[in-house]
Structure 1
Amino acid sequence: MDYEQAGELKIGQVGIANLRIRTLDVERLVEEMRSRVQRAPNMFGRAAVVIDFGGLSQTPDAGTAQALLDGLRAAGVLPVALAYGTSETDRLAQALGLPLLAKFRASYERADGAAPEAAAPPRREAPAVAPAPEPARARAAAPAPAAPAASVGMIQSAPVRSGQQIYADNRDLTVLTTVGAGAEVIADGSVHIYGPLRGRALAGAQGNEKARIFCREFHAELVAIAGHYKVLEDIPKELRGKAVQIWLEDEQIKIAALD
């Protein structure tokens, strides 16, 4: 039996799922998505999904892509856009009547370890001849370089209620109270929750695989680190209600009780 998934689903920082197609098998992709919806209907039922064909060697034709969109809708999710990849993807999006989103594509490239483009070497200018210093004018001392500002974590002191979303941009997030069911807390760094976690917690939202989630009372609908996720149905029952830490290891979510 082939246990490799045909489509890798990642959760974005605004709760939109990104489905990166690994194997263009429409029937298999639809069945995988139907299984996800059945296992976690509150999370995936009618969820917005961005389709990413960047993992394929060739962009599919419009007919095949439309069959995939129709199948995913029948499985219970709502494809809303394509992830930007190439000019062919752009033309495909126009044929399907869908917008393009570039952000998800960039996030996957960072997560996959793609090296950034090398910067162009600076242009060498001919050295200018400095004028002789005026004897009557004292030279001004060059200012010392400013020290980089320390990254300050975000603190949320009020309860995060159903329907609310709290996002800590480029820093850690500490929640001093409850994250209610249907609420979402997101950080580019780690997430610390000192009360019950009943909603969703997403750490490393921009691809930081070293980020972690800590909570005092674990009942999460979903947890995710750098896009990799687990829903409540996938979590051992003995960990529910416990103080836990959550981290990413070999692209797998790990959850352990805190002593």
Structure 2
Amino acid sequence: MNAAPNYEQAGDLKIGQVGIANLRVRSFEVERLADEMRERVQRAPALFRRAAVIVDFGGLSDLPSVDEARALLVALRGAGVIPVALAYGTSENDRLAEALDLPTLAKFRAQYERAGGEAVSPAPAPAPAAAATPSAPQQPKAGQPRNAPAPAPTAAPPIAADPGLVMTAPVRSGQQVYAEQRDLTVVGTVGAGAEVMADGSVHIYGSLRGRALAGAQGNTQARIFCQEFHAELVAVAGHYIVADEAPAHLIGKPVQVWLDNETLKIAALD
């Protein structure tokens, strides 16, 4: 009797910093991982061919041996991508990286874990506000009548809201724009082969023909908005779809892209 087919992928690929992808290995099967990567390259060659990839063994209960890991690196290169580092992990992971003559990247791993919904240390709670204490009655200044009205308080200067990074010129093929810790607004178009990325949301008031990545540091509430959808790739908090996976009826339409329970959604803007 034939075994039931296994539809679960052996490795999760997520898009992170500009030009880098993170491959989190869930099942150490060299041939399956290489086949999956080869399929991704064939489906979106402009995005994945010769792309830099960080290999993350954090999803495995046991690390592979040096020979096994080296075989995976060779297979991934054969599939069309370039492994450039291991994701930061345990001391054993560090020794494995050293044996493979690869660096470990801690910052990227932290971003991936935020995007993947894993545990993150909570931010410290804000300090409680100091209790208001009644102020002593002001004594009149010399020469001022006792019944003179108190001086009006000086209004604090208004604080200007951060509009985020605003690009008024089109983003052309080969250009990369990154809005760190803020939203990105592109007044014009994003051409094919261009890449726009923000830690917040991405707003495009023209045609999106390149790649747009929102929530680059793991913000799952970030969104992408564009007036004309022709994207090569869209991603929110590392979760992505490429052009071939986008709903055909939304091509050329105004859309928004968001994350719902780790599933990327695309819908027309009303």
TM-score interval, normalised by the smaller of the two chains: 0.7 to 0.9
Q: Per-residue deviation at 1:150?
A: 4.6
Which runs of structure 2 are paired with 1:133-212 in the superposition (5 Å)? 150-212=161-223
**SS in structure 1 of the partner of residue 264 of structure 2:** strand
Q: Which residue of 1 aligns with 2:61?
A: 57
Q: Which residue of 1 aligns with 2:24?
A: 20
Q: Per-residue deviation at 1:55?
A: 1.1
Name the aligned partner's letter for residue 41 of structure 1.
P
Alignment equivalent of 1:114, drawn from 113, 119, 139:
119
**SS in structure 1 of the partner of residue 35 of structure 2:** helix
Measured against aligned partners, the alpha-carbon deviations of 1:176-235 in whole angstroms (never above 9, x if no partner) come to 001111111000010000011011000000001111000001111110000000000111
Gaps of 5+ in 2: 125-156
Measured against aligned partners, the alpha-carbon deviations of 1:85-125 in whole angstroms (never above 9, x if no partner) come to 11111111111111111112111332324131797xxxxxx
Gaps of 5+ in 1: 120-145
Give the TM-score normalised by structure 2: 0.82
Q: Per-residue deviation at 1:36?
A: 0.7
CA distance in 1, matches of 2:215, 2:235: 8
CA distance in 1, matches of 2:14, 2:199: 15
- For the 8 Å contact 1:53–1:59, the answer to whether it is kept is yes
**SS in structure 2 of the partner of residue 193 of structure 1:** strand
Name the aligned partner's letter for residue 105 of structure 2.
L
CA RMSD of aligned residues (A): 1.9
Q: Which residue of 2 aligns with 1:84?
A: 88
Give the TM-score normalised by structure 1: 0.86
Q: 1:150 to 1:113 in 2, by over 3 A?
A: farther
CA distance in 1, matches of 2:55, 2:266: 29
Aligned pairs, how many? 234
Residue 31 (str. 1) matches residue 35 (str. 2): yes
Runs of 4+ in 1 over 6 A off after TM superposition: 146-149
**SS in structure 2 of the partner of residue 93 of structure 1:** helix
Q: Which residue of 2 aligns with 1:241?
A: 252
- For the 8 Å contact 2:186–2:204, the answer to whether it is kept is yes
CA distance in 2, matches of 1:153, 1:69: 39
- For the 8 Å contact 2:190–2:208, the answer to whether it is kept is yes
